[in-house]
Amino acid sequence: DVKVTQSSRYLVKRTGEKVFLECVQDMDHENMFWYRQDPGLGLRLIYFSYDVKMKEKGDIPEGYSVSREKKERFSLILESASTNQTSMYLCASSFLRQGLNYEQYFGPGTRLTVT
């Protein structure tokens, strides 16, 4: 079975702190994604990566950065956390075949609260 793990299930940080969220997948997937999910807004893509050291902006990249130094690991960084970044953060991975993305496998999520 595909396994996607996230470093924390719950996290509480103070405004202005630098926050690292880590995601690891064990299926040798090329693609990895970071989403945030908020009530009424659905899943919104922050960043994604097709390969090591490659990254693409999603729909809401402002205030975030990412790092992919190894194929299995994708990190989301909040450079200076703000209260409007309180949210559920979901990592996902998938194969890339014939230029199209296939089904995504999600981690359990990290509920981040910024106070």
**Residues within the interface to another protein (CB under 8 A):** 4, 33, 40-43, 45, 48, 56, 58, 90, 92, 99-109, 111
Q: Which residues pair with 90 in a beta bridge?
A: 35
Q: Which is nearer to another protein, 41 or 52 (CB)?
A: 41
Give the shortest CB-103-to-another protein separation in angstroms.
4
**Contact (CB, 8 A) for 102 and 80:** no
Q: Which is nearer to another protein, 8 or 106 (CB)?
A: 106
Instruction: Please calculate the CA angle 64-86-68 and round it to the nearest 5 degrees.
Output: 30
Question: Within a 13 Å sphere around the CA of 84, how many CA atoms are in the beta-carbon half?
Answer: 4
Closest by alpha carbon to 9, among 74, 86, 89?
89
Q: Which is nearer to another protein, 54 or 80 (CB)?
A: 54
Give the shortest CB-16-to-another protein separation in angstroms.
27
Give the shortest CB-101-to-another protein separation in angstroms.
6
Q: Which is nearer to another protein, 18 or 57 (CB)?
A: 57
Give the Cα separation of 14 and 16 in Å (integer): 6
**Contact (CB, 8 A) for 100 and 49:** no
Give the shortest CB-10-to-another protein separation in angstroms.
10
